Every structure is written in structure tokens, then in C-alpha cells.
Structure 1
Amino acid sequence: MSERAGWWSLRVRITSATTAIVLVVLACGAVGLVWLLRSNMVESEATTAGQQAAQIASEAETLGSLPPFEADEVIIQQQRNGRVVAVADDDFVGVPPLPVSDELQIVEVLDQEWAVRSSPVMLQPGVRQHVVVGRSLYGAHEATESATILLSGAVPAVSLFVAVMTWTVVGRSLRPVEQIRSVVENIGNDVTGRISEPRGKDEVARLAVTMNRMLERLEKSRRAQQRFVSDASHELRSPVAAIRQHAQVALLHPEAVTLPGLAEVVDAEAARLEELVSGLLLLARIDERSASVQQEIDLDDLLLAEGKRLRALGVRVDLTKVGPARVVADTALMTRAVRNASENARRHARSLVAFELTDNGTTAVLRVDDDGPGVPEEDRERMFHRFERRDDARDRDSGGAGLGLAIIAEAARQAGGTALLDTSALGGARLEMRLPSGS
């Protein structure tokens, strides 16, 4: 209910904001329109009053007096020295003198407003008089009032129409989003479901496509996690089962198992268990953090240290092709990757392990070769998957848990490079890492 209320709340907010904006704009427009209408009508009356004043002044000079003029909306006065001398319509006798001015004057007379203009007239030699014309603004007031009443009803009506249309359009626009939300909510823990993608390429369609891609990534991640947990459980169970088996045999048949023999089995399985747990913890830390702490590493120092370690173990090592190279990577992860590469070569080498490191200024290439049986081409890609081992390694006690190459691939990926298996010049396997140069 809260989610649905949230969508309705968004609908209300959009509708309210749109209606308020339209209402304000229309109201301002209506006020401006009324003001413009009144101004134009007043200006029109003033212009007419000025023209009438000039025409009547010309006729009065010809006739020697004001010509008669009867109209309820027009006051015509002949003034001299601020006094009314004559009027064109006897109905306006007694009206106070209207102002004499070349500019428009608006005065209130007889409970009405009048637009007043004047024109000079010479009816007697040396006596300057004025013809003053006042035109009623009643019609302007009537038109302005009618427009105000009309717009007072039209503005709310248009705003209401906009509100209804916005409510409808927003509701229809949010309906697919609500359907997407409902489908995703109903999917729950089953990420195999997908959203029906609407037609078109608008925002809602792109949202549906993005949600389906996200669900696909979640499904792949869940499958990988389930596979990882299953494989890890199996790998962890093997050394534990071996230790328990030998311990139970020692308890039930102490004469068949010597203490040194039992200790040797426990030590070997414990070492295998330790290696497996260490690899699992490292991969878990890699999966949990979004970005590793990276810094420049002298990759040649790591290779020389590994070569020295292997020689101490009695392995013949060739370091003649190791040149200087620096890369930007997670120090702990890259160190573990180099260790895994050298151990993998030592485990399968017959007599020689060769290290090679070159840097062309943009890419550092690390190669670890051995003269062992090599890796079949069809198995090379899957060997970088977690818990994947060669068939011959499964039968050997030192075969590892299948995490070494997975850690190498992850180290290369986080450093922005790649890792692959190939055939070495010695006839065995070659582990190659291509990393962006840090120099």
C-alpha cells in the first residue's frame, strides 16, 4: 500500500505543480489582457475626443459659436479663462469646467469617468478660448468588466482542464512503471522472471530493458554463487573426510596405523585445507570490495623473488629474460597471483621453469613457462574458472584446489589486463599476463 501511495503522491505532485504553473500564467495573462484592453479603449476615446475638439473648434470659428451636438456620452464646452461660456448640449448645463490640457485628462463627472481633450478656438479678435470635449469611459468600463468576468471563469476552467489532462496523462505514463515495480516485487527471490518490455524507445521502455538486464546479471551472479558454494563445500569436505577417515582407522585399529603415518596424513590434508581456505578468503575479499587499493609495483622484483624461492626448493629456474616493468595493481593480489603462477609451473615442470618479463612502454607482458605436459587447447579457457582443475591434477595430492588460476585471472582483470594459457617454447604450459604499464 505504501508503494502504491507513493506513486499516487507523485501523480498528485506533478498535477498540482503543473496546474499551479498554468493557473499563475493564465492569471497573469488575464490581468495583462484586461489592463491592455482598458488602456486601448481609453486611448481610443482620448484620440476621438481630441479629433472632435479640433473639428468642433474649426466649425465654431466658421459659425461664430458652438454648433449644436447631442449625445449622452459626449460633453462639449466652450471655455474662456477657466469658465464655461457655452455648451453644445443643454443637458450638460451646469457641469463644472473640464480641464484644459494638450494631454489626456481623465476626470470623474456625473458619477462617471471621462476622457478629456481640448483645442484652442478664436471666436473674437484677441480673445483666446478653448473647445473642451469629454467622452464617457462607461463603454470602456463595461468592456473591461465583461472581459474580467469572462476571464475569471475561463482561467479556472482552463486550469481545471489542464489538471484533468495532466492527471490522466501522468497516470497513463506511470502505469507501466507501476507494472514494472509490481512484476519486480512479485519476482522475489526467483530472479529468472523477466519484465514484458513495452514497445517504443522512451524512458519506460529503456527502464524495462535495464531492469531485465539487471535481473539477468542477478541470475548469473546467483548461479555463480550457488556453484561456488557447492564447489567450495565439496572441496572443503574432501580433506576433512580424509582426516576423519584416518583418525577413525587409528582409533578402531591402532595396530594398523602408526603415529608418524597419521601425522603425515593430517599434516598434508591440513595444508591442503589451509590453502583452500586462504584462496576462498582472498576471493571473498575480492568479491566484496568494489575497488581494490592499487599502487605501482615493480613486477620484476616479484618474479626475481619467486625465482629465488624456487631455486631454494631445488627447481632449475631461468631468469635471463626478466626485464624491468612497473604496473599499477593490488599489491597483495598481484603477489599472490605471481606465487600461484610459479607454483603451478613448479608443480607440472619436469626439470625447468622459465620467467620472462618485457615492457614496451604501454603493456607489460609476464610469462611463466615450464617443460611439463602442457594444457590441452580445449581446456585452457575453463582452467581460469574457480575450482577447475586438470584431470591429472585431481589425482595428485599436490594438485591444489583449482583456485590458483582463478586468482591470477582476477588479479589481471583488476589491473586492467588479461591472463591466458598457451604453449611454451619449452614444450609445456605458458601462463601469460598482459597488464597496462605503470611507467
Structure 2
Amino acid sequence: MARFWDGVGVRLRTAWVAVLVTAVVLVLGAVGGVFVLRRTLTDAMTDTLVTAARDLADQVSQSDERDLADLEWTLGLRTGVAQIVDARGAVVWGFPGRAPFTTSRPPPGGEAAVERAGGMLVAVQRADVDGTPYTVIVADSLQPVNLTTFTAVGLLAVAVPVSLLFVGGLTYRLSGRALAPVEGIRSQVASIGGGGGDLSARVPVPPTRDEVAGLATTMNQMLDRLESAQAAQRRFVADASHELRSPLTSVLGGLELAEQDGWRTDPETLRTMRAEAVRLRGLIDDLLLLARADERRTGAPREEVDLDDVVAQERSRLRRTSTLLVRARLVPVKVDGDRQALVRLVRNLVDNAARHARTTITLAVRPDGDTAVVEVADDGPGVPDGDRERIFDRFVRTDGARGREAGGAGLGLAIVAEIARRHHARIEVGDSPGGGALFRVRFPRHAE
């Protein structure tokens, strides 16, 4: 049953559910309605018979035994009949010679009793005449009640199926109209997926403000993101190919010269080839790191890291490898993260500053509330306001002095941004007091 139900379309499934729910409601309503109708008719007849029996009993009580045979009384019912029965069970008034409609005898002073007998509803009331007990019987046929009930059942037997057909057809039609925009979205997305990867098309957005319009808007937003990601991926592949081609060309050129000279290569050419090979290896490492980050497979262990020690190591390295003046203000502070990744982040920021600084680099580590702040500043040309977001893109090209042409492959700051994201850190770019660029990274502090 479940397998069959899974193969049914949404429109037909919706119609079936609507028919089943409506059927349950209508059947329960019809049964309850017939029951209430019959009960109401029976109660009305009961009240009428009880009132008639009480009235007749009062009239009998005010008569004497000699006048009972000539008692004149109108029942007031179209089909009702009445009898007066003495203590021996003989009918003394109303159909004399016929057996009583019921053999029930009410107690003295009791209320009228009501029962069913022979397809009739019978009300029985006691009346005393000069101390002699008599039984007053008033009866009426249940045939009108039964006829009305059967008529109602017959009408419902026709009305319920017709109503179910109407509900099923209407639901099927309305659900089809409601799902038409969804089908349009599906067909449009299918054409986008099968159209050679062209993500420039968009799905139609209905003019309504319902869930379908929200779905169409969300799909278009997703297509926007996919198109942007596709464009970024194509740029990334093109730029990566360009960056890899340059050192490969240098290495291959050096090898060709060495082959032409009988493999008697001068030291300068070897040093150039070695530098290009090192650059190529660095590019490949950076690309692999970013690729693993894109695939969310960078599950390095988290540990407690002294952020000031990481910056102090980079300060020592920079002092050994450059002639720049390196200033540092380091306050002990701890964070939770991947130590190797944090070392890479600080090193990339320091190398970026060293590449653009004129004379001085300033490093700082300090706590700030519930964050740990790392600052790297230089006295170089700075970063224009319009480029402060773009410089963290991969292989970014800028018009200022911090473009890729100034050195590097344009992956260092992209790696910084990725490591910061993995550590839930926030990067800020501003102007340093020395007139250059200031990079500030805020990490969540280690919970003591």
C-alpha cells in the first residue's frame, strides 16, 4: 500500500486525501444528523402523547363510572387513538371490545409512562374515579417518524457520493492550478541543468505572495549564487593555470638551455630554476589547502593555542630574514584552534606586510573583552577603500600597489580569510598610524 501510495502524483494524492477526509466528515455528520432527526421527532411525539394522556386522565378523574362510557374527549392528534382500561383489563372507553394497546399499569400518582408497542408509541397514565383505578392509554403510530427517517437516509445516500465526487474533482483541479507554477519552476530548472551549464536563466516568479512565490524567489537566489560560484570557479581555474604556467615555463626554459649546453648549467640558472620550483610548490600547496577548505574536509584537531607565542615566532623570523624594523606589543592571550593553521594565518599577514612596507612593520596581540585581537600594520601604500573586501578573493587583481603584480600569487590573503572563517574570526582592514595598511583579526577567546 505504501509503495502504491508513493507512486501516486501530488494532485491525485491531494484529491484522494480530500475525498477521504470529506467522506469521514459527511458520513459521521449524516449518521449523527439522522440520529438527531429521529430523536427529535420521537421526543416531540412523546411530549404530545404525555400531554394528551395527562389531559384525558384529569377529565376521567373528574367523571363518575356511569359517565365513562359516554365520555366526550378529543385527542387532538391526526392519527392518535386513546383507551380507558379498568382494573380487570377491560376497555371501557375507546375501541371497546378490543384488547388494550399495552398491558403496562402505572403506579398511583406517578408520571405518565411511555413505551413502544406494535409499531406505536404509547403513553400510559393512571386515573382514579371514586377510588377505583383506571388506566388511560394514548397511542400514535411511529410510521411518520420512520418515513421521515427513511427519506432523510435516502437523500443522504445520494447527496454524500455526489458531494464526494464534487470535492474530489474540485480539489484535483485547484491543486493542479496551485502546482502549475511549481511545474514551471521544475521544467525551467531542468532546462537550466540540461542546457550546457548555463546558469543565467531564472525561474518565473508568480505574482502571488504565497509559498510558491517564495520557492521561486529562493530558487533564483540559489541560481544567483551558483552562477557567481561558477564564474568565480572559472576565474580561479584560469588564474591558477596562468600562475602555474609562469614558473613551469621558467623551469622548462632552464632545462632546455641545460640540454643545449650538454647539461653544463651555470649556477645562476640553477638558482633561478630552484626559486621557480619552490614558488610552484608553494602555489600547489596553497591551491590544495583552498580546495580542501572548499570541500569542508579540513577537520584539523582543535587545541589551546597561545596566540602571542605564534606572533612572537613570526616576529623573530621576520627580523632574521629582512632589514625592516619590526615592532611588537604582545600581551598573553589564548584561543582554541588549529595551531598550524593559525601560524599560517599570521605568517601570510606578516609576509603581506613585509612585501609592501617601506621601513617598519608593527605587530600586536591583546585581549579585548571576549575576543583575542591580532594586528599587523605596515607603513606601505595602504589599501584603497574599494579594494578592502576584494583583496581576500583568490587571485584578486587590484589597481593599487597591492595587486598581484606587486608580488605573490594572490592566494595569501584568501587563505587568511578561509582560516579566519574556520575559526569564527572576523577580519578588519583599515589604515595604520604609519600611513599604511592595518589588518586586524578578532578571534573568540579561549574559555578559562
TM-score, normalising length: structure 1: 0.87
Letter in 2 for 1:11: R
> How far did residue 379 of structure 1 move?
4.9
- Provide, for residues 286-335 of structure 1, a one-character-per-residue CA deviation record: whole Å limited to 9, x for no partner: 11118866555332121012112223335556454111233454544322
Residue 403 of structure 1 corresponds to which residue in structure 2? 411
Distance 1:339 1:103, change over 3 A: farther
Letter in 2 for 1:367: E
Task: Out of 81-90 and 277-286, give the one that drifted further.
Answer: 81-90
Residue 44 of structure 2 corresponds to which residue in structure 1? 44
Question: Is the CA contact (8 Å cut-off) linking 2:102 and 2:122 kept in structure 1?
Answer: no
Residue 131, structure 1, aligned to residue 136, structure 2:
yes
* Within-5 A mapping of 1:130-279: 130-188=135-193, 189-254=197-262, 258-279=265-286
* Within-5 A mapping of 1:16-55: 16-55=16-55
Q: Distance in 2 between matches of 1:395 and 1:183?
A: 43
Question: Is the CA contact (8 Å cut-off) linking 1:46 and 1:104 kept in structure 2?
Answer: no
Q: Distance in 2 between matches of 1:164 and 1:22?
A: 13
Question: Is the CA contact (8 Å cut-off) linking 2:184 and 2:204 kept in structure 1?
Answer: no
Task: Out of 179-188 and 287-296, give the one that drifted further.
Answer: 287-296
> Secondary structure, in 3 states, of the residue corresponding to 2:63?
helix
Distance 1:159 1:291, change over 3 A: farther
Letter in 1 for 2:226: L
Question: Is the CA contact (8 Å cut-off) linking 1:79 and 1:131 kept in structure 2?
Answer: yes
* Within-5 A mapping of 1:272-351: 272-289=279-296, 296-313=304-321, 315=323, 318-351=326-359
Residue 355, structure 1, aligned to residue 358, structure 2:
no
Question: Is the CA contact (8 Å cut-off) linking 1:315 and 1:352 kept in structure 2?
Answer: no
Residue 426 of structure 2 corresponds to which residue in structure 1? 418
Q: Distance in 2 between matches of 1:299 and 1:104?
A: 98
Unaligned runs of 5+ in 1: none
Question: Is the CA contact (8 Å cut-off) linking 2:115 and 2:123 kept in structure 1?
Answer: no
Question: Is the CA contact (8 Å cut-off) linking 1:292 and 1:330 kept in structure 2?
Answer: no
Unaligned runs of 5+ in 2: none
Q: Distance in 2 between matches of 1:16 and 1:177?
A: 20
> Secondary structure, in 3 states, of the residue corresponding to 2:9?
helix
Distance 1:16 1:87, change over 3 A: farther
- Provide, for residues 22-60 of structure 1, a one-character-per-residue CA deviation record: whole Å limited to 9, x for no partner: 111111111111111111211222221122222222333
> How far did residue 269 of structure 1 move?
1.1
Question: Is the CA contact (8 Å cut-off) linking 1:83 and 1:97 kept in structure 2?
Answer: no
- Provide, for residues 126-160 of structure 1, a one-character-per-residue CA deviation record: whole Å limited to 9, x for no partner: 31111111221111111111111111211222222
Aligned with 1:107 (options 116, 124, 138): 116
Aligned with 1:83 (options 71, 84, 89): 89
Distance 1:291 1:122, change over 3 A: farther
Q: Distance in 2 between matches of 1:313 and 1:284?
A: 30
- Provide, for residues 76-133 of structure 1, a one-character-per-residue CA deviation record: whole Å limited to 9, x for no partner: 222233613324135x823554423445433332xxx22111222223x331111111
Distance 1:99 1:326, change over 3 A: same
> How far did residue 438 of structure 1 move?
4.2
Distance 1:6 1:266, change over 3 A: farther
Name the % identity. Answer: 37
Distance 1:104 1:43, change over 3 A: farther
Q: Distance in 1 between matches of 2:339 and 2:410?
A: 22
Q: Distance in 2 between matches of 1:365 and 1:313?
A: 25
Distance 1:314 1:214, change over 3 A: closer
Distance 1:392 1:385, change over 3 A: closer
> Secondary structure, in 3 states, of the residue corresponding to 1:73?
coil
Aligned length: 427
Question: Is the CA contact (8 Å cut-off) linking 2:49 and 2:123 kept in structure 1?
Answer: yes
Q: Distance in 2 between matches of 1:130 and 1:82?
A: 10
